[in-house]
């Protein structure tokens, strides 16, 4: 190997985001000169000097590791064929170094691609490239402030496909360049409107994820849906199934109808398109769904009506909101044009059937419970232990493998857990300058600060909380993190409340808010916390996934019986916070806060006085949850319940 060949080999390893879950590859890239936790490995490789490359070449062990990782990558890419399933999502959370996600929806999409890569599902991802990402959170004077990075696709491993698609918007066309990001064997196509031929304002359509006003959002969704379908066609791909991850990409359905409609027969075209469309809904809250006012959206629908020779009312009716005749509802559009639809937990499926009853087809909604990509979210030490004791199939959710957890004895378990807590303490110290006692019972809470998640619920029991934090004999330490959407003033006030409590004398330095919640902070937290707290207003948490990440790492869930936990809690694999039936939100919150603080007290006592019982609970949680919470299980369910039947029906 000479130095251009070495640079090329390293670039290939850095540009394929398989390193996001293959620890040996990530460690190799992290060992390069100039590597830092905030730098994408592609830029690290690009910046290697000739001298540095020569030095690396002289290191036989290093060159051997590069060759071995390159061989593994080749093997992972073997037998690639054109994708048959297009997975369309407004956000993708692949890694903190590719900041194209806001929260759970995006992380789920990233985990879906990774599991599809592991399982060789022929899938392609479709999304937008946001030049300013979501936002980075800082805390200034006790309040959240936002800053936006500038991201060049090339610096995060995107490859130019040299395809530019054009999307008709009212009065003009917008061009979007198609970038390709590799996620193992799964290509992810991201459309980028920062193209010279666009007007200045059109260039910024893809600036910020979930930024701007309604018209801006509509422009983004037109580029995502219409542009996404055109990007696939321009690359010569013709997937049989289009999977809409939430309704944002719903316009893809209209673009597909446009291709097959003839003689103005919309119903016939719809039934053709419906054969290949599937839809996953992610929110049980009507306000959480993307809707557009009639005056705004009709201008976007008119060109289709003109071309098809149908009244615009017919297209309008496809997205008609079941609860408001002046709104166009993207989830309703997706639902009416899909042959299969699902919610993301059993309870959420039930709630969704009620919520979409007004469309007349709500009762067809089934459910597939969300899972998390094990090798992305489980700490390196625990992965190594699982590989050795359970065998590598644990990461695919193999129940036989998980049955072997009894072989991990108390000593080993305590050692693994306390090293994870110490690593969290290091991250907390570096990020906040504050100490975290790794021997305390560490209780974590990290998620978007959407008000329904009730980040401040505990503060309703301020006196008992203060007593708990002041108890030096049985120490507990709370670690909180999370961002509020920049336009969500209520959410931002919750961040301020938590930050203010954390720095108050009452918190006794045992309550820490970690700013800048992202996948890196999330990983440190789900690895290092002993207890994972989740207290949404039931049943508003469609699934939730952070608790699944914690569970795989041996963190025990203490949660309202909502989302995934409602179906997986068995009385002994964690704790349930009793929900109140009180109609009055204040009384309900007060009752649930009391239930919560009482459980936390008994968990603390078990942790400090009955460690063997606590350890057995962790093993029991692994045994019962390990087979059910992985993204591998989830993608297998999508294969058997959604993709395969859809592929078969389209073939026949
Ligand atoms: C897992 C994850 C989420 C989703 O957490 P929920 O429990 O579903 O709220 C959000 N953000 C990040 C960065 C995550 O890693």
The Cα–Cα gap between 154 and 139 comes to 30
Q: Tell me whether strands 143-147 and 441-446 are parallel, antiparallel or unpaired.
A: unpaired
- Quick check: CB of 348 below 6 Å from ligand 1? no
Q: What is the mean pLDDT of residues 475-501?
A: 97
Q: What is the mean pLDDT of residues 141-162?
A: 97
Instruction: Specify the residue with its C-alpha closest to ligand 1, atom 4.
Output: 104
Residue 299 lies in a domain: no
Query: For residue 650, what pLDDT band results from cuts at 50, 70 and 90?
Result: confident
Q: What is the mean pLDDT of the chain?
A: 97
Residue 185: phi, psi to the nearest 5? -90, 5
608 and 643 in a common domain: no
- Quick check: CB of 94 below 6 Å from ligand 1? no
Task: Domain count for the chain, please give it.
Answer: 3
Query: For residue 327, what pLDDT band results from cuts at 50, 70 and 90?
Result: very high
Query: For residue 287, what pLDDT band results from cuts at 50, 70 and 90?
Result: confident
| Token pair recorded at residue 429 | 């110290």
Q: What is the mean pLDDT of residues 479-490?
A: 97
Domain final residue, candidates 12, 44, 76: 76
Q: Which string of DSSP letters, residue by residue, matches 527-547?
A: HH-SEEEE-PPTT--S---HH
The Cα–Cα gap between 178 and 189 comes to 6
Worst-scoring range by mean pLDDT, 224-238, 356-370, 561-575, 606-620? 356-370
H helix intervals, 129-236? 200-203, 214-222, 228-234
pLDDT value for 333: 96
pLDDT value for 635: 98
How many angstroms is it from 86 CA to the middle of ligand 1?
24
570 and 469 in a common domain: yes
pLDDT at 379 over 80: yes
pLDDT value for 520: 97
The Cα–Cα gap between 259 and 255 comes to 7
Q: Is 516 exposed, middle or buried (0-12, 13-18, 19+ CB in 10 A)?
A: middle
64 and 18 in a common domain: yes
Residue 131 lies in a domain: yes
H helix intervals, 235-379? 251-260, 266-274, 294-308, 312-318, 330-336, 346-355, 374-377
Region class of 162: left (phi > 0), else alpha (psi between -120 and 50), else beta: left
Q: Which of 469, 396, 315 is nearest to 629 (CA)?
A: 396
162 and 64 in a common domain: no
Structural domain span for residue 252:
85-291+334-370+636-651
- Quick check: CB of 104 below 6 Å from ligand 1? yes
Instruction: Specify the residue with its C-alpha closest to ligand 1, atom 1.
Output: 546
The Cα–Cα gap between 273 and 267 comes to 10
User: How far, in Å, are 88, 172, 535 from residue 252 at the CA level?
Assistant: 9, 19, 36
**Helix (H, G, I), strand (E, B), or coil: what is residue 652?**
coil
pLDDT value for 173: 97
pLDDT at 295 over 80: yes
The Cα–Cα gap between 248 and 269 comes to 21
CA dihedral 279, 283, 284, 285 (to 10 degrees): -130
pLDDT at 652 over 80: no
Residue 618 lies in a domain: yes
- Quick check: CB of 106 below 6 Å from ligand 1? no
The Cα–Cα gap between 563 and 169 comes to 38
Query: For residue 284, what pLDDT band results from cuts at 50, 70 and 90?
Result: confident
Q: What is the mean pLDDT of residues 406-424?
A: 97
Could you tell which of 480, 482, 522, 550 is best to mutate to test the pocket of ligand 1, judged by most ligand atoms within 8 Å of the CB?
Answer: 522
- How many C-beta atoms lie closer than 10 Å to residue 49's C-beta? 10
Q: What is the mean pLDDT of residues 32-57?
A: 97
Q: State the closest ligand 1 atom to the C-alpha of 563, by its place in the atom list counted from 1.
A: 8
User: How far, in Å, are 42, 46, 67, 187 from residue 10 at the CA level?
Assistant: 8, 9, 10, 19
Could you tell which of 103, 559, 568 is best to mutate to test the pocket of ligand 1, judged by most ligand atoms within 8 Å of the CB?
Answer: 103
The Cα–Cα gap between 621 and 626 comes to 8
Domain final residue, candidates 52, 76, 100: 76
How many angstroms is it from 545 CA to the middle of ligand 1?
6
Q: What is the mean pLDDT of residues 603-607?
A: 98
- Quick check: CB of 447 below 6 Å from ligand 1? yes
Q: Which long-range contacts (CB under 8 A, 24 or more apart) does 435-441 make?
A: 435/509, 436/477, 436/479, 436/512, 437/475, 437/477, 437/510, 439/475, 440/475, 440/476, 440/477, 440/510, 441/474, 441/475, 441/476, 441/477, 441/530, 441/531, 441/603, 441/604, 441/607, 441/608
pLDDT at 132 over 80: yes
512 and 532 in a common domain: yes
How many angstroms is it from 448 CA to the middle of ligand 1?
7
The Cα–Cα gap between 307 and 642 comes to 32
The Cα–Cα gap between 546 and 446 comes to 8
Please report which helix (H) or strand (E) contains residue 387, including its range. helix 380-389
Could you tell which of 20, 447, 534, 564 is best to mutate to test the pocket of ligand 1, judged by most ligand atoms within 8 Å of the CB?
Answer: 447
The Cα–Cα gap between 468 and 465 comes to 5
pLDDT in tens, 568-580: 999 999 999 999 9
Could you tell which of 97, 101, 107 is best to mutate to test the pocket of ligand 1, judged by most ligand atoms within 8 Å of the CB?
Answer: 107
529 and 640 in a common domain: no
Handedness of CA 607, 610, 612, 616 (dihedral sign): negative
How many angstroms is it from 601 CA to the middle of ligand 1?
26
How many angstroms is it from 541 CA to the middle of ligand 1?
12
495 and 440 in a common domain: yes
533 and 432 in a common domain: yes
- Quick check: CB of 544 below 6 Å from ligand 1? yes
The Cα–Cα gap between 424 and 381 comes to 14
| Token pair recorded at residue 13 | 């390893």
Domain final residue, candidates 76, 110, 135: 76
Q: State the closest ligand 1 atom to the C-alpha of 523, by its place in the atom list counted from 1.
A: 15
Instruction: Specify the residue with its C-alpha closest to ligand 1, atom 5.
Output: 546
The Cα–Cα gap between 447 and 546 comes to 8
Q: Which string of DSSP letters, residue by residue, matches 179-206?
A: EEEEETTEEEEEEE---TTS-HHHHGGG
**CATH number of the domain that 519 lies in?**
3.40.50.2000
590 and 450 in a common domain: yes
How many angstroms is it from 577 CA to the middle of ligand 1?
20
How many angstroms is it from 431 CA to the middle of ligand 1?
19
The Cα–Cα gap between 249 and 228 comes to 8
Q: What is the mean pLDDT of residues 504-525?
A: 97
Angle at 307 between CA 302 and CA 311, to 5 degrees: 50
| Token pair recorded at residue 37 | 């936790």
Q: State the closest ligand 1 atom to the C-alpha of 370, by its place in the atom list counted from 1.
A: 8
Residue 118 lies in a domain: yes
362 and 243 in a common domain: yes
pLDDT at 1 over 90: no
- Quick check: CB of 529 below 6 Å from ligand 1? no
| Token pair recorded at residue 421 | 């807590």
- Quick check: CB of 551 below 6 Å from ligand 1? no
User: Residue 184 in contact with residue 76, Cβ under 8 Å?
Assistant: yes
The Cα–Cα gap between 597 and 460 comes to 10
Q: What percent of the chain has pLDDT over 70?
A: 100
How many angstroms is it from 382 CA to the middle of ligand 1?
21
Q: State the closest ligand 1 atom to the C-alpha of 544, by its place in the atom list counted from 1.
A: 8
| Token pair recorded at residue 465 | 């909380």
Could you tell which of 545, 552, 558, 568 is best to mutate to test the pocket of ligand 1, judged by most ligand atoms within 8 Å of the CB?
Answer: 545
H helix intervals, 58-199? 60-77, 104-118
- Quick check: CB of 545 below 6 Å from ligand 1? yes
Residue 329 lies in a domain: no
How many angstroms is it from 285 CA to the middle of ligand 1?
18
pLDDT in tens, 225-277: 999 999 999 999 999 999 999 999 999 999 999 999 999 999 999 999 999 99
User: How far, in Å, are 139, 151, 211, 276, 370 from residue 102 at the CA level?
Assistant: 18, 15, 11, 28, 17
Residue 578 lies in a domain: yes
pLDDT at 341 over 90: yes
138 and 93 in a common domain: yes
pLDDT value for 286: 81
pLDDT value for 651: 78
How many angstroms is it from 93 CA to the middle of ligand 1?
10
Q: What is the mean pLDDT of residues 92-99?
A: 98
Residue 307 lies in a domain: no
215 and 108 in a common domain: yes
Residue 312 lies in a domain: no
């Amino acid at each position: 190997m000479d130095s251009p060949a070495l640079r090329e080999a390293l670039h290939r390893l850095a540009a394929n985001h398989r390193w996001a879950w293959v620890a040996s590859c990530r460690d190799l890239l992290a060992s390069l000169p100039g590597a830092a936790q905030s730098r994408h490995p592609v830029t690290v490789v690009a910046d290697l000097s000739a001298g540095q490359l020569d030095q690396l070449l002289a290191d036989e062990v290093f060159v051997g590791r590069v060759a071995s990782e390159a061989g593994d990558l080749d093997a992972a890419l073997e037998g690639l064929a054109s994708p048959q399933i297009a997975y369309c999502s407004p956000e993708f959370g692949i890694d903190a170094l590719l900041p194209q996600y806001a929260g759970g929806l995006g992380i789920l999409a990233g985990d879906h691609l990774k599991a599809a890569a592991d399982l060789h599902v022929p899938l392609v991802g479709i999304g937008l490239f946001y030049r300013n990402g979501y936002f980075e959170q800082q805390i200034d004077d006790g309040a959240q402030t936002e800053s936006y990075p500038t991201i060049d696709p090339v610096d995060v491993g995107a490859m130019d496909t040299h395809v530019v698609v054009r999307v008709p918007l009212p009065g003009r066309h917008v061009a979007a360049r198609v970038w390709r990001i590799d996620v193992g064997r799964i290509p992810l196509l991201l459309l980028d409107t920062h193209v010279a031929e666009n007007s200045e304002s059109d260039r910024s359509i893809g600036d910020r994820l979930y930024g701007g006003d309604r018209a801006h959002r509509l422009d983004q969704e037109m580029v995502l849906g219409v542009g996404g379908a055109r990007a696939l066609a321009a690359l010569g791909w013709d997937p049989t199934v289009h999977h809409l991850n939430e309704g944002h990409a719903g316009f893809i359905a209209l673009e597909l109808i446009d291709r097959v409609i003839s003689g103005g027969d919309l119903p016939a075209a719809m039934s053709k398109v419906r054969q290949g469309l599937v839809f996953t809904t992610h929110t049980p809250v009507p306000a959480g769904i993307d809707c557009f006012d009639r005056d705004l959206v009709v201008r976007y629908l008119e060109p289709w009506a003109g071309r098809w020779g149908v009244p615009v009312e017919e297209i309008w009716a496809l997205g008609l909101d079941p609860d408001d005749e002046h709104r166009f509802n993207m989830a309703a559009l997706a639902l009416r044009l899909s042959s299969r639809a699902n919610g993301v937990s059993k309870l959420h499926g039930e709630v969704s059937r009620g919520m979409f009853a007004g469309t007349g087809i709500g009762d067809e909604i089934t459910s597939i419970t969300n899972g998390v990509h094990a090798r992305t979210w489980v700490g390196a030490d625990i992965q190594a232990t699982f590989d050795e004791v359970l065998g590598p199939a644990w990461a695919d959710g193999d129940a036989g493998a998980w049955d072997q957890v009894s072989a991990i004895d108390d000593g080993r378990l305590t050692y693994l857990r306390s090293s994870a807590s110490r690593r969290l303490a290091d991250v907390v110290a570096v990020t906040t300058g504050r100490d975290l006692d790794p021997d305390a019972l560490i209780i974590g809470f990290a998620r978007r600060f959407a008000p329904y998640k009730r980040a401040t619920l505990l503060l309703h029991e301020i006196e008992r909380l203060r007593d708990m934090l002041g108890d030096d004999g049985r120490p507990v330490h709370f670690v909180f993190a999370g961002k509020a959407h920049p336009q969500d003033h209520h959410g931002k006030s919750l961040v301020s409340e938590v930050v203010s409590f954390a720095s108050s004398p009452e918190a006794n330095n045992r309550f820490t808010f970690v700013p800048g919640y992202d996948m890196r902070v999330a990983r440190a937290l789900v690895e290092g916390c002993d207890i994972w707290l989740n207290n949404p207003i039931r049943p508003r948490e469609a699934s939730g996934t952070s608790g699944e990440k914690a569970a795989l790492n041996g963190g025990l869930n203490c949660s309202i019986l909502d989302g995934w936990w409602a179906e997986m809690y068995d009385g002994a694999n964690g704790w349930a916070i009793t929900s109140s039936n009180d109609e009055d939100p204040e009384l309900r919150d007060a009752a649930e806060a009391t239930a919560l603080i009482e459980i936390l007290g008994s968990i603390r006592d078990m942790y400090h006085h009955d460690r063997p019982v606590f350890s057995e609970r962790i093993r029991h949680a692994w045994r019962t949850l390990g087979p059910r919470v992985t993204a591998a299980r989830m993608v297998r369910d999508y294969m058997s319940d959604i993709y395969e039947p859809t592929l078969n029906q389209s073939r026949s």
